[in-house]
Amino acid sequence: MDLGLKDRVYVVTGATRGLGLAAARELRADGARVLVTGRRQEALDSAVAELGGAGQAAAVLADNADPQAAERIVATAVERFGRLDGILVSVGGPPPGPVVGATDEAWRDAFESVFLGALRLARTAADRLGEGGVIAFVLSSSVREPIAGLGISNGLRPGLAMAAKSLAVELGPRGIRVLGLLPARIDTDRVRELDAMGGDADGARARASAGIPLGRYGRPEEFGKVAAFALSPAASYLTGLMIPVDGGAMRAL
């Protein structure tokens, strides 16, 4: 199946590792050009080289929480590649811990990066996107059901999902789609760190896997392929959706 990605241009934030990098790889595999962002220059240089080097990939050193970052990221993508077809807003999860133990400062910092920074990127991209453009957010299964030990994420992700659905209504008349991706147990560094919090990473992984109908954690490339499809013209009539990528772990409709 041709996803129609050849020569299209996408921004992928937080794309030096994990789900962001997996999505960028799959976009490139189908012929898209990508601008990736991250907070470490060395990691960005490595990602650009892996993604095909100059002409096929570019990078911006940026933190989603920086109020100036969104305009710089979007402007650089247009300047380097001459167009913008979509953005995948991926950001590292907030610190783990229960709601009762989270300080006001922790909530504010997470709000700036996970919530406000994501919306700022979406708004800025929307100003440059034309008909057929797409905005997608990497969210979490915590949008639909809380995850133990991730109190801040449980608080912020559902609100961002509802904002995304509102954006889908607002931008639909312009032909711009808005989607959310809801990964659960995908085998990334972040999930391994969460598994290790209780001191028995292998046991935590075994227990979590037992609750997944497919019986295993997802591979990053499996998430990346869903992301590439969602961003592509092949998904041109999908908007306002929250798409689980979870091996069937969430039982709700």
pLDDT per residue over 113-167, tens digit each? 999 999 999 999 999 999 999 999 999 999 999 998 899 999 999 999 999 999 9
Residue 197: inside a domain? no
pLDDT of residue 239: 98
Of 6-10, 57-61, 149-153, 231-235, which gets the smallest average pLDDT? Answer: 149-153
Question: In the 3-class helix/strand/coil scheme, how is 86-149 assigned residue by residue?
Answer: EEEECCCCCCCECHHHCCHHHHHHHHHHHHHHHHHHHHHHHHHCCCCCEEEEECCHHHCCCCCC
**Per-residue confidence band for 232, with pLDDT thresholds at 50, 70 and 90:** very high
Q: In the chain, pLDDT over 90 holds for what percent of residues?
A: 88
Residue 122: inside a domain? yes
Number of domains in the chain: 1
Residue 196: inside a domain? no
Structural domain of residue 68, as residue ranges? Answer: 9-187+223-240
> Do the beta carbons of residue 141 and residue 134 sit within 8 Å?
no
The predicted model gives 217-241 an average pLDDT of 98
User: How confident is the prediction for the chain on average, in pLDDT?
Assistant: 95
The predicted model gives 175-180 an average pLDDT of 98
The span from the CA of 237 to the CA of 24, in Å, is 22
Residue 63: inside a domain? yes
Residue 209: inside a domain? no
pLDDT of residue 1: 76
**Per-residue confidence band for 94, with pLDDT thresholds at 50, 70 and 90:** confident
Task: Summarize pLDDT for 34-53 with one digit per residue, the tens.
Answer: 999 999 999 999 999 999 99
The span from the CA of 180 to the CA of 199, in Å, is 32
Residue 142: inside a domain? yes
Residue 164: inside a domain? yes
Residue 170: inside a domain? yes
CATH number at residue 95: 3.40.50.720
> Do the beta carbons of residue 134 and residue 23 sit within 8 Å?
no
| Residues contacting 91, CB < 8 A, separation 6+ | 13, 14, 64, 113, 114, 117, 118, 138
The residue count of the chain comes to 253
200 CB neighbour count, 10 Å cutoff: 12
